[in-house]
Amino acid sequence: MLILSEQEIQRMYTMKDAISDVKEMLRQKQAGKVIAPDRTVLPFPNHDASILYMPSAEEGAAVVKVVSIFPHNPAAGRSTTQGIMVLTDAKTGEHRMVCNATYLTRLRTGALSAIAADYLATQAASRLAVIGTGAMAKEQVVGILAVRAIERIFLYNRTRKKAEDFAAGLHRLVREWTGKVYVVDEADEAVRQADIVVCSTRSEQPVFSGQMLRPGMHISAIGSYLPHMRELDVETIVKADRIVVDTLEGVKHEAGELIQAAESGRWSFSRINAEIGELVTGEKSGRQHEREITVFKSVGAAWYDLAVAIGVYYKALELGAGQEVEL
Mind listing the pLDDT tens digit for each residue in 65-101?
A: 998 989 889 889 998 888 999 999 999 999 999 999 9
- In the CATH hierarchy, which fold is given to the domain comprising 119-300? Rossmann fold (3.40.50)
- In the CATH hierarchy, which fold is given to the domain comprising 2-104+303-324? ornithine cyclodeaminase, domain 1 (3.30.1780)
Q: Where are the domains of the chain?
A: 2-104+303-324, 119-300
Q: Which residues have a catalytic role annotated?
A: 65
What band does 320 get if pLDDT is binned at 50, 70 and 90? very high
**Topology agreement, domain 2-104+303-324 and domain 119-300:** no
Confidence at residue 81, expressed as pLDDT on a 0 to 100 scale: 82
Q: What is d(CA 38, CA 50) in angstroms, rounded to the nearest whole number? A: 16
Confidence at residue 327, expressed as pLDDT on a 0 to 100 scale: 82
* 127-132: average pLDDT: 98
In 90-233, where do the E strands start and end? 95-100, 127-131, 152-156, 180-183, 196-199, 218-221
